[in-house]
Every structure is written in C-alpha cells, then in structure tokens.
Amino acid sequence: MIHISRRPRRNRKSSAVRDLVQETTLQVSDFILPMFIVDGTGQKSEVKSMPGIFRHSLDNLLEELKEVTDLGIRAIDLFPNYPESRKDRFASESYQEDTFYLKAITAIKEQFPELVIMTDVAMDPYSSDGHDGLVENGKIVNDATLDILSKMSVAQARAGADILGPSDMMDGRVGFIRRELDEAGFTDVSIMSYSAKYASAFYGPFRDALESAPKFGDKKTYQMNPANKREALLEARLDFEEGADMLMVKPALAYLDIIRLLDEHFNIPIAAYNVSGEYAMIKSAAMNGWLDGDRAMMEVLTSIRRAGAKCILTYFAKEAAEILNA
C-alpha cells in the first residue's frame, strides 16, 4: 500500500457520493426552447439539417406546446419563417399589425399565460436581402436600422412577448429599443441582448429553417470575429449600460471562455445559445452511431452551465427535460 493523503477518487466512489459533490446542476427551468413557426394550418415540416426539429403552423404549434409545457419547459423563443414573396428591403412585415407571427404570439399567450415567450429582434427573416440590418448600396447601415428594430420590438411587445432578443448586433440598439419600449408603456418587457454574437459557421441549419441566409456577402461587419475576446467585454458593457436585463453569448460551445468572462464581469444573468449547428453536430454523429447522443447532449448542456450561463437556449430542451424528469 502506498500512502497518498489526497485521493480525489474517494469523492467519486458511488453515485450518491458523486451527486453529493456535484458542483453544477441542470434544471428544466434553465431551458428556453427555440421554435419555428410558419403561416397556414396543418403544417409540420422537419428542418433537413436539424432532425427532430420542425416548422409548425400555429395549430400544430399549440399542440406541440402542450407536450413542451407538460415536460416542465417554461420558456420558448419563437422565430417566424416568411415566404420570399412577403419579404422586402425594409422588413416591413416585422412591424405591421396582425401578421401571422404577431397573432401567433397573442394566441399562445392566451392559451399558455404562464409560458415565457421570447422573440428575436433582427431584420433577417423579413428582409429580401437576408441581412439583420437595412442594406444601402451594398452596406448594412446602422442608424436607419435602429428605427426598424424598435418598431419591430414595440409590435412584438404589444402582441405579448415577455422577453425581446435583439440578435442584430447593430450599435446602440439596446438603448434605442429600451427607450421606445418604455415610451410605448412596455416597461415590463425584458431585453435579453445577444451581446457577444459571433460571425459563426454554426448558424447554417437555422438559416435553412427560416430560409433566411444572406443574399450577398456575410455578416462580418456586424457579428463579432471569433478570434476576439476583449471585444466581447465591450459589447457586453454597452448592452449592460443601455439597459439589457440579461446578456447572451452565442454560439455556446466554442465560446465557453466568453460565457465565463461575462459571468465574472457582470452581475446580471448570462444566457448562452446552444445554436443550430451545435445541435446538428451531435444529432448527426448520434444518428450514425458514432457517439451516444443523450450523453453528449447532457455533457454539453452541463458544460455550458459550468462555464457560467444561468439559462440555455437549446433545441435539445425537450430531450434533456425527458432525461431530467425520468
């Protein structure tokens, strides 16, 4: 026998002991489930690059939400899929009254008053250019975009959204939107700002889901360079000062250091978006039998919490809830 005074393995000797010393926990109430809605009725089509994730029309979505809420999931983030014919340069559909999307928010709120509904504030699903901001002469213009974003925000708040998620990365948008919301009387509507949103390859499947890929160029003049960390602090500080209630990091997996950084520097909740490409990566490997999908999913979600995220936007919410509830 060798004398070893510190034997960390003692704290791993049984499942009960391991649970006693477990530092990070995952709860169903940590999850926000992103969902895709299309106009019409009787629609349910699977997103090719996201097996198990569907675009629903409202009737189907309400059915689905019964299952979702029965699992204990208490928050969703709803994204609209618009046909090309309804898109224009100004993303006009995003702030017109009574669009299928805004009506759906109101209908969901009526049927599920306790469910937190988050919305996305950016022009891309409504823009014929497929960009998050207004395009003029091939450039994404900042200040003129703010006006459109704030009209979109007020329309979403009026429809019943609880949390707005500006995902556009224009400068000054959080403060601008906050002011317009307050002036319209929506002081209780929260802002979860996409603060550190990187120009990432991991959004590909999401753009398939919404058919919202940019028609030209890329998003590098507004989304952040994946190589930068200190810049994330600047973006987060601006959003904090402009009145954001929660700060989000996106994507999550390749940016765990950024989650940790923001958690250490700001005393408001940090959220992380476990994005479409991260979902597709695990799903495709699991479907090929190359890894254990459930274990990989739980490991990833726990790691995001461990890094410092309080809540997680994840397409895995239902499957993870099933495991946590078992």
**# residues contacting ligand PBG (CB under 6 A):** 11
Smallest gap from residue 132 Cβ to ligand PBG (A): 5
DSSP 9: G
The question of whether 197 is a catalytic residue gets the answer yes
Among 49, 94, 119, 167, binds ligand PBG (CB under 6 A): 167
Smallest gap from residue 218 Cβ to ligand PBG (A): 10
Does 120 contact ligand PBG by CB under 6 A?
Answer: yes
d(CA 313, CA 320): 12
Measured CA distances, 301 to 144, 169, 172, 282 (Å): 38, 25, 31, 12
119 alpha-carbon distance from chain centroid: 9
Query: What would the x/- binding string for ligand PBG be over residues 201 to 220, using CB under 6 A?
Result: --x--xx-----------x-
Give 60 or 127: the residue with its C-beta nearer to ligand PBG: 127
Catalytic residue among 87, 151, 219, 250: 250
> Do 66 and 55 meet the contact criterion of CB atoms below 8 Å apart?
no
d(CA 34, CA 203): 13
Give 17 or 141: the residue with its C-beta nearer to ligand PBG: 141
Does 132 contact ligand PBG by CB under 6 A?
Answer: yes
SS3 percent helix, strand, coil of the chain, rounded to 5, is: 45, 20, 35
What is the b/e burial string over 144-153, where b = at least 16 CB atoms within 10 angstroms of the residue's CB?
ebbebbbbbb
Does 198 contact ligand PBG by CB under 6 A?
Answer: no
Smallest gap from residue 22 Cβ to ligand PBG (A): 28
Catalytic residue among 197, 219, 283, 318: 197
Give 120 or 239: the residue with its C-beta nearer to ligand PBG: 120
Tokens of 292: 């254990």
d(CA 280, CA 277): 5
Smallest gap from residue 120 Cβ to ligand PBG (A): 5
Give 48 or 66: the residue with its C-beta nearer to ligand PBG: 48
Smallest gap from residue 153 Cβ to ligand PBG (A): 14
Q: Using alpha carbons only, how large is the chain's radius of gyration in Å?
A: 20
Give 222 or 266: the residue with its C-beta nearer to ligand PBG: 222
Does 32 contact ligand PBG by CB under 6 A?
Answer: no
The greatest distance separating any two alpha carbons of the chain, rounded to the nearest whole angstrom, comes to 77
Smallest gap from residue 159 Cβ to ligand PBG (A): 18
Give 248 or 321: the residue with its C-beta nearer to ligand PBG: 248
Among 157, 189, 244, 275, binds ligand PBG (CB under 6 A): 275
Give 124 or 162: the residue with its C-beta nearer to ligand PBG: 124
Among 276, 300, 311, 318, binds ligand PBG (CB under 6 A): 276
**Angle, helices 58-70/100-111, rounded to nearest 10 degrees:** 40
Task: Kindly give the pairing relationship between strand 75-81 and strand 246-250.
Answer: unpaired
How many Cα atoms occupy the beta-carbon half-sphere of 285 within 13 Å?
Answer: 13
d(CA 279, CA 316): 7
Measured CA distances, 99 to 49, 126, 156, 163, 262 (Å): 27, 12, 11, 19, 36
Query: What would the x/- binding string for ligand PBG be over residues 237 to 266, using CB under 6 A?
Result: ------------------------------
Per CB under 6 A, residues contacting ligand PBG are 120, 122, 124, 132, 167, 203, 206-207, 219, 275-276
Residues that are catalytic: 197, 250
